[in-house]
Structure 1
Amino acid sequence: MPFIRMVAILLITAGLLACTDTPSQSKLEQLLQQQFDQQHDGLITVDKLKKLNGWSERDKHYSVEVSYNIAFNTSFKAYVDQQTAKPGNPLEKMAKGISAGMLKLQYGDFKAGDEYQVTQQTLSLLNAENGWLLQQ
């Protein structure tokens, strides 16, 4: 009887340890910052991220509700001017301008230093071989 009890305790402990493999708040903030940097070349800084709730969707998939603040590092006009002044493909420049325009629709004519709070957003993550990845 003690052997069976010991095996049961080990299995329960292993199961609980497997369930605790979730991304930390700092990892979530890092992933979100990387996503903004890829989309907007250093325009936005993410901070004060709070994990509100999280759940496993499927094996290796995790969803998490977060709130966070964003701060604009430059104004809308300066950012668009920087993007159009860069050498390169006109279509890529146009795509950057459209992406910035979507931010302007969402946040207005933002200036450098303007801050906004995102009160709730659900992020989808994948636990890959090299760690957590934010899915688009």
Structure 2
Amino acid sequence: MIRHLPAAIVLAISLTACSDTPSESKLEQLLQQQFDSQYDALINIEQLKKINGWQESEYQYVAEVSYTIKFQTSFKAYMDEQTAKPGNPLEKMAKGISAGMLKLQYGDFKAGDEYQVKQQTLSLRNAENGWLLQQ
């Protein structure tokens, strides 16, 4: 004999399924992956806090976050390391330009320097394998 679940239980289960929003640790992980892919472990993301968040659609979520970035090496050491690597000169030039933009934003940073990002808006997409940070 199959019993029907009370409506309150069904509603609670469906609301729980709909409230699958990325946690602070997931947001920090996604942001760290983005920085790592762009800057080869130059920056660590620390102390991320979600300020606000909202569901744009079933598959899109927006989060406002603050966090600290910590440079793992100096600008000069990073640039020396990038230019010493074997590989495509155009890729090296793109990495150099990208790091140069960081220098414009944060100055001549040194290893261990920390900067507070007071607010940044992240757009995420819920895919088959979980949340992805949109560029």
Q: Note whether the superposition's TM-score is higher than 0.5.
A: yes
Tell me the residue number matched to 1:42. Answer: 41
Tell me the residue number matched to 1:27. Answer: 26
Amino acid at match of 2:124: L
Comparing 46-55 with 9-18, greater Cα deviation is found at: 9-18
- Where does 1:6-85 land on structure 2 (aligned, <5 Å)? 6-7=6-7, 9-85=8-84
Tell me the residue number matched to 2:132. Answer: 133
Amino acid at match of 1:16: L
Q: Measure the CA separation in 2 of the matches of 1:16 and 1:93.
A: 48
TM-score (norm 1): 0.92
Q: Measure the CA separation in 1 of the matches of 2:114 and 2:91.
A: 27
1:111 is paired with a residue whose SS is: coil
Tell me the residue number matched to 1:104. Answer: 103
Shift of 1:14: 3.3
1:29-52 Cα shifts (integer Å, max 9, x gaps): 111100000000000000100011
Q: Percent identity among equivalent residues?
A: 74
Shift of 1:21: 0.3
Q: Measure the CA separation in 2 of the matches of 1:129 and 1:108.
A: 40
Tell me the residue number matched to 2:3. Answer: none
Tell me the residue number matched to 1:3. Answer: none
TM-score (norm 2): 0.92
1:66-118 Cα shifts (integer Å, max 9, x gaps): 00000000000110111011000000000000000000011011001000000
Structure 1 residues not aligned, in runs of 5+: 1-5
Q: Measure the CA separation in 1 of the matches of 2:75 and 2:117.
A: 19
Structure 2 residues not aligned, in runs of 5+: 1-5
2:56 is paired with a residue whose SS is: strand
